Each structure stands twice: as C-alpha cells, then as structure tokens.
Structure 1
C-alpha cells in the first residue's frame, strides 16, 4: 500500500520540480525525500520523475499519477472533514417522526433553526400515530419522535416534555350546547363520541376515557378516525362530539365549534402533553443537536 505521506511528498516534488525546495516545503532533509520518491517508484513499478543534474521533470506516468494523488488526498481530506461534521452533529442523517406538528409553533421554530444551523444534515420525516412512532423508535428506525404519552412501558426510550395544552370539547355547530361559552363535561354523557382508535395512541385514548370517568360516565364512541383532523371533520358533519387538544381550535372546519371544559379533574387528565422521545440505547451526535434545539424551544405551561 502507498502511504498518504508518500503521496504528499510526491506532490511537493511534482509541484516544485526541485528536490531541495520540496524538502524545505515539507520541513525535512533532502536525502530522505529522495529515498521516499525512489520507494514510491518501486511500489508503482515505474519512474515518476526524469532526473538530471540540471532539472527534474515529470514522466508521462508521473503526470497521470499526480492527478490521482491529488484526488486521493482531496477525497481523504473531505472524508476527515465530513467525519468531524458528523461527530459534531452538523452533518449526517436524522430520521424524525411526529404526530401532527403544524399547531405547535415552538416545534416548527426549532426545526427551522436546526435546518439553518445544520444545512448538511439530511432529514427524513415521517408522520404517524404515537403508537407507530414509539414502535419505530424502539426498533431503531427513528432517531427522534414528537409524540403524546405512550401509555405503556417503554424501557428503551427517554422522554422530555415540550409543552402542554388544555383538552376542549368539540361540538357540531348545531349542538344544543354549541352557543355556550364553555361546557360541563358531564353534560355530554348522553352524546355519541368520535375518537381515534386506542391502538394508535393508548395514552391519549386512556386519558380522555379517564377524564369522562371522572365526570361520571363512559363515553359512547360511535365513530373512529385515525387522524384528529378527521375526527373534528366528523364532528362538523354531525356524527358526534369529541375531546381534542386546544391547538385544533386554530383550524376548525365549518360546522364545528370548540369550547373550554368545565371539570374539576386533576391537571394530569385535563391537560394534554407533547413530548420528544428517543432511543436512549443509541448514540447520535446529530440527534443530540436537534434535541438541544427542541429543548431550548420547550414551552413552560
């Protein structure tokens, strides 16, 4: 194998076409440099320089090898620089999964800043349910997930809270209570409910059920939908009422209203939290960089 040291010595002589100047440039004595070039020629099996008492010049083979040597060293230097960028979290590949994040300005701001600070990082994005994202994190298929509480044991994963928001009642605009400023949850005990399946978000589903149980009833779920935007769409179409995060009130479809809940339930039931989650058994500098950005954007409430 030809060492990179030999390549650098060859390039110096090829550019200077003078062994003395090349040796000075390399901060070494001339005899060892001459021996290094002889060794390189032995390894290659052909001469790279024509030498005389008056001048040094490249052979045709040496001219061809000069291009190769420069390319090898440039590729190596770029590889070392890329390795440093990856180790510093400013380059690499990051796989991010999330439930709907459009309403969460602080998360969007963190992603925008991250992309600005680390443009060399390739981001792969995936939108899915909390359960699907948790499964992907546990399987090592994602680096970070923006999720709700999973509602089950996840020993491999770490969670940090990003923000919290109130749970509100979503009603059809024609509902008997739609004109009120707020609604007592117990007043909805006889209504049909629209909800997402428990299999897609056990923690969210169980929290809403617990909130209703605290109000004295078990919700009668008449319709289900995978996405919360579809849930509120079904509410607007008159299929029932729903309990949803307050952020959805920013983009209500025609035919639906959202009202604050009147309930004496504990905060753990009436507030819905958003978390960032990651697999603590894996190491990723670029992941740590985005986690720090999200952590800085977290909302205290």
Structure 2
C-alpha cells in the first residue's frame, strides 16, 4: 500500500526534475527525500527517475505514475473537501421520509428556504406511513421523518412536535349533521366510520378510538384505508364518516364537509401532532440544519 505522502513527494520531484528544489518546496532536507523516492521505487518494482550528476529525468514508469498520481491525489483532495463540507452541513444528501404533506404549506416553504440556503444539498423523498418511517429511520435508510405520533416506544428516535392540527369530523355533503356549524361526537355513536388502518399508524388510530370512547361509544369501522385522502374519498362516496386532521380541508375535495368538534372533556385528544423525527444515534450537521429550517417555517 503506497502512502499518499510518498506520492505527493514523487509529484513534486517529477514537476521540478531537481531534488534540491523539490526538497525546498516540501520543506524537508534532500537526503530524506531521495530515500523516500527510493522506497517508492522499491514498492513499485521499477525505477521512476533516471539520475546523473547533472540531470533528473522521468522514466516511462515515472511518466505513467505521474498522470495517475495527479488523478488519485486530486480525487483524494476533493473527497476530503467534500467530507468537510458535509461535516459543516453545507453539502451532502438527505433522505426525508414523510406522510402526505401536500396540505401543509409550511412544509413546502421550509423546503424552498432550505434549497435557497444550501443549494448543493441533494434531497430524496419517500412517502411512507408513520410505522414505515420508524423502520426507515432505525435502519438508517432515512435521515428525517415527518410523521404522526408513532404510538410505540422508540428509544432510538428523537421526536419533536412541529405543530398541532385540530381533529374535525368529515361528513358526506348530504349528511343531516352537515347543516351544523359544529358536531358533538356523542351524536355520531350510530354512524359507520372510515379510518386508516392501525397497523400503518398506531398512534393516530388509537387516539381516535380513545376520543370516541371518551364520548361514550366505540366506533363501528366499516372501511379502512392506507391514506387519509382515500378515507376522504370513501366518505365522499357515502361509505361513512371520518375523523381527520383539519388541514386536509385545504385539499378542496368535493362532496364532503368538514365540521369542528364541539369541545370534549378529552381536550388533549382533539388535536393531532405533526412531528419531525430523527435517529439520535447518528450525528448529522446537515440533518440538524434541515430540522432547524422546519422549526422556522412549518
């Protein structure tokens, strides 16, 4: 294995074709430099220079090595510089896993601000449920997660709330309760409910069940869906009613109406958090800059 120090010394000698001048450039004495070049020649197995009392010339092997040495040292220097930029949080690659965020304008403002601030960073996005995001973060396949509350113990993750989103009732436009300005959850005890599957988002699913239980009933779930947009579509088609974050009203879906819940005794359950999550066992200045941008804009 040839040391990069020997390669750098060889390049200077090859450029100067004079050992004394090369030693001056390298801030070292000439004898150690001559010994270093001999060690390099021994490792390669061929002479790199033709020397006499007056001249120093490159051999064919020396010429071949000079071209490759420039490439190798240039690539090494760029790799070190790139590593430093990544460590400073000004370049690199981030993988962001997220639930559907099309209805959160603050998230897109944050992305725009981050791109303006650090244009050299490459971002990749994975749409995933909260459960899937936990797995991606724990395996190192994602750097940042945008999720609801996981509802399970996640000691390896740091989870920070970005905002609270009120939970509202979603009804078919023709539903009798759609005429109300607000809806008591107790009045929905006999309704059919459409919900996202618990296996895909345990925390949010269990929160909705606890909210209904606090109103004195267990919801009769007739349909389950992977995405809340699908839940809304099923409500529009008349399959039931739903409880969803109020921000989804921004999607402007036809044939459904959103109504706020009248204040419940379980006030702490009437809003759902949007969180940013990361693996606390991984050090990443770039990820930290991204999360700070989210804090400012979401």
Same fold by TM (over 0.5)?
yes
Shift of 1:92: 4.3
- Structure 1 gap segments, 5+ residues each: none
Deviations 1:201-230 (A, max 9, x none): 222122222222333333222222111001
What CA distance in whole angstroms lies between the structure 2 residues aligned with 1:37 and 1:260? 80
1:197 alignment partner in structure 2: 197
Shift of 1:245: 0.6
Deviations 1:72-122 (A, max 9, x none): 211221222233233334444433211111122222333333344445544
Shift of 1:66: 0.7
CA contact (8 A) 2:192 2:221 kept: yes
1:275 alignment partner in structure 2: 275
What CA distance in whole angstroms lies between the structure 1 residues aligned with 2:265 and 2:101? 26
SS at match of 2:2: coil
What CA distance in whole angstroms lies between the structure 2 residues aligned with 1:3 and 1:75? 15
What CA distance in whole angstroms lies between the structure 2 residues aligned with 1:176 and 1:110? 40
Would the alpha carbon gap of residues 131 and 34 (structure 1) be closer, same or farther in structure 2, given more than 3 Å must change?
Answer: closer
SS at match of 1:159: strand
- Structure 2 gap segments, 5+ residues each: none
Deviations 1:242-274 (A, max 9, x none): 111111101132111112221233431111111
2:295 alignment partner in structure 1: 295
What CA distance in whole angstroms lies between the structure 1 residues aligned with 2:241 and 2:51? 91
SS at match of 1:102: coil
Would the alpha carbon gap of residues 36 and 141 (structure 1) be closer, same or farther in structure 2, given more than 3 Å must change?
Answer: closer
Alignment of 1:1-301 (within 5 A): 1-298=1-298
What CA distance in whole angstroms lies between the structure 2 residues aligned with 1:154 and 1:61? 58
Deviations 1:159-196 (A, max 9, x none): 11011111111111111132333333333233222111
Shift of 1:231: 0.6
Of 240-249 and 71-80, more deviation after overlay is shown by 71-80
SS at match of 1:262: coil
Q: How many residue pairs get matched?
A: 298
SS at match of 2:47: coil
CA contact (8 A) 1:158 1:280 kept: yes
What CA distance in whole angstroms lies between the structure 1 residues aligned with 2:171 and 2:185? 12
Tell me the C-alpha RMSD between the 2 structures.
Answer: 2.4
What CA distance in whole angstroms lies between the structure 2 residues aligned with 1:172 and 1:66? 75
